[in-house]
């Protein structure tokens, strides 16, 4: 069966967080969702870098796409005879974009791809950059739809699923990674119930995921992050489905903080654990999760909710943004290249070289 033919994309794919206008980048401001739907206009690469750092745009694939368009914006005022000459002038802007979020490998991947295209370009180097950025976005959407079909094929009819953070259209060019699997699974009537963890401290699950699913007519039940293990114990969940910011050569996976504890709880309760991410997220140059730089954000993000302080003054806080789930706790990694069951260094090499 060609599972992708069973998916009504027009019904399950309404949101686009990144819009290129021809001379500016419009980013759906995810800090203000779900109550305010507003776009931030970026007319330069530094504005894009700031938007990435400030979480105006978030999600590993979306960050990469935004950065690619940031390179296009950086090139707008540059005079150069060919791509190689332009690359030397653009390198500082590329470095600033790269520094905006160090953990998400898609950011460095997209910038490396733009560098390669530029290095080979002739006098039409600016148009080459536009074409490459558009290709990165188009390929991501196609990959997400394919991954959705592949991942849904692993799920038994009538299953309940739990997801973490936001991995949908808001985090990608469209359709989503883990949420793409959920969309496909709903379209094929494989998934009976969707649960979403709130995902402190930025509440991407509460603010973004359940809102995004609501736009597509998919009912989702929000839970506190701390309720996940109890939910699994009830038997309501058969799969935990998450995205990834970096997948190592041995299958270790960095994702939003809280993912690791979900994997531990899932293994204890006999719940399957699926990671869904494009192949650009796979970093075969990083041997294992111990080598991943874990981004630390402002401890102040833990001091309140929605701008209202809930913590007494003078309290210290620790705020890592990501954690690493060992490959040994992952049942399936789904990319557009296929499904890797029970990932190890050996079968990761077989899939990615």
Q: Does residue 103 register a pLDDT over 80?
A: no
CA angle in degrees (0–180, nearest 5) for 191-207-321: 95
Residue 46 to residues 102, 119, 196: CA-CA distances in angstroms? 16, 22, 34
In the structure, what pLDDT confidence band is assigned to residue 2 with cuts at 50, 70 and 90? very low
Does 57 score more than 70 pLDDT? yes
Active-site option among 13, 140, 216, 245: 245
| Percent of the chain at pLDDT exceeding 70 | 98
Decide which of 12 and 317 is more confident.
317
Average pLDDT across the chain, whole number: 95
Is-above-0.85 flag for pTM?
yes
The stretch 23-42 carries a mean pLDDT of: 96
**Annotation marks residue 245 as catalytic:** yes
**HSE-CB for 15 with a 13 A CA cutoff:** 31
| Each residue's pLDDT tens digit, 193-234 | 999 999 999 999 999 999 999 999 999 999 999 999 999 999
pLDDT value for 100 = 95
Domain boundaries, the chain: 3-143, 145-352
* Number of Cα atoms under 13 Å in the Cβ half of residue 117: 22
Tokens representing residue 233 in the block: 């114990």
Phi-psi region of 342 (alpha: psi -120 to 50; beta: other; left: phi over 0): left
Contact yes or no for 274/178 (Cβ under 8 A): yes
- 143 within 8 A of 278, measured Cβ to Cβ: yes
Asked whether residue 1 carries a pLDDT value surpassing 50, the answer given is no
Mean pLDDT within 118-134? 97
pLDDT average, residue stretch 282-309: 93
Res 40: pLDDT: 97
Distance between CA atoms of 249 and 352, rounded to whole angstroms?
Answer: 9
Among 62, 278, 247, which residue's Cα sits nearest to residue 178? Answer: 278
User: Is residue 94 pLDDT above 60, yes or no?
Assistant: yes
Query: Residue 260 pLDDT > 80, yes or no?
Result: yes
Q: Is the pLDDT of residue 102 over 90?
A: no
Q: What angle do CA 317, 320, 323 make, to 5 degrees?
A: 140
Mean pLDDT of 116-128: 97
CB hemisphere CA count around 167 (13 angstroms): 31
Q: Is the pLDDT of residue 5 over 60?
A: no
What average pLDDT score do residues 326-330 get?
A: 98
Mean pLDDT of all residues in 33-38: 95
**Residue 116 token pair:** 């390669």
Which overall architecture, per CATH, does domain 145-352 show?
3-Layer(aba) Sandwich (3.40)
Q: Which tens digit of pLDDT belongs to each residue from 12-21? A: 888 899 999 9
Q: Are 345 and 249 in contact (CB under 8 A)?
A: yes
Confidence of residue 322 (pLDDT cuts 50, 70, 90): very high
Angle between helices 83-98 and 125-152 (to 10 degrees): 50
- How far is Cα 106 from Cα 92, in angstroms, rounded to an integer? 19
Q: How far is CA 82 from each of CA 87, 97, 125, 265, rounded to the nearest angstrom?
A: 9, 22, 6, 54
pLDDT single digits (tens) 156-190 = 999 999 999 999 999 999 999 999 999 999 999 99
d(CA 353, CA 335): 14
- Place 6 in a pLDDT band, splitting at 50, 70 and 90: low
Question: Is it the case that residue 85 has pLDDT exceeding 80?
Answer: yes
DSSP string spanning 214-237?
A: HHTT---EEE-GGGHHHHHHTT--
Please report, for residues 61, 73, 210, 326, the alpha-carbon distance to residue 246 in angstroms, rounded to integers and kept in the order given. 11, 26, 24, 12
Q: Which helix (H) or strand (E) holds 42?
A: strand 39-42
Compute the average pLDDT of residues 58-77: 95
Domain covering 3-143 in this structure, CATH number = 1.20.120.420
């Amino acid at each position: 069966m060609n599972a992708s033919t069973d998916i009504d994309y027009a019904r399950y794919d309404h949101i686009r967080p990144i819009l290129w206008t021809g001379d500016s980048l419009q980013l759906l401001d995810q800090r203000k969702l779900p109550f305010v739907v507003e776009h931030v206009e970026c007319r330069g690469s530094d504005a894009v870098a700031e938007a990435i750092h400030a979480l105006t745009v978030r999600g590993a694939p979306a960050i990469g796409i935004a950065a690619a368009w940031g390179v296009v914006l950086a090139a707008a005022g540059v005079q150069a005879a060919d791509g190689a000459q332009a690359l030397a002038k653009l390198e500082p802007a590329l470095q600033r974009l790269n520094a905006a979020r160090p953990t998400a490998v898609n950011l460095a991947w997209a910038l490396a791809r733009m560098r390669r295209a530029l290095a080979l370009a002739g006098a039409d180097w600016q148009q080459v950059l536009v074409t490459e950025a558009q290709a990165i976005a188009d390929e991501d959407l196609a990959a997400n739809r394919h991954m959705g079909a592949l991942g849904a094929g692993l799920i038994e009819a009538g299953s309940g699923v739990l997801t973490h953070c936001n991995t949908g259209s808001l985090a990608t060019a469209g359709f989503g990674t883990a949420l793409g699997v959920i969309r496909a699974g709903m379209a094929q009537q494989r998934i009976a119930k969707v649960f979403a963890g709130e995902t402190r401290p930025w509440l991407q699950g509460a603010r973004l995921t359940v809102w995004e699913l609501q736009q597509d007519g998919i009912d989702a039940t929000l839970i506190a992050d701390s309720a996940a293990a109890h939910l699994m114990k009830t038997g309501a969940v058969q799969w935990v489905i998450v995205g990834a910011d970096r997948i190592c050569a041995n299958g270790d996976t960095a994702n939003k903080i809280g993912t690791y504890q979900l994997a531990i709880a899932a293994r204890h309760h006999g719940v399957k654990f699926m990671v869904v991410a494009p192949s650009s997220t796979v970093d075969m140059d990083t041997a294992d999760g111990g080598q991943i730089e874990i981004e630390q954000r402002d401890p102040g993000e833990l001091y309140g909710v929605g701008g209202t302080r809930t913590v007494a003054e003078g309290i210290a806080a620790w705020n890592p943004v990501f954690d690493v789930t060992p490959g040994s706790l992952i049942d399936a990694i789904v990319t557009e290249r296929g499904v890797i069951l029970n990932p190890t260094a050996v079968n990761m090499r077989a899939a990615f070289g």
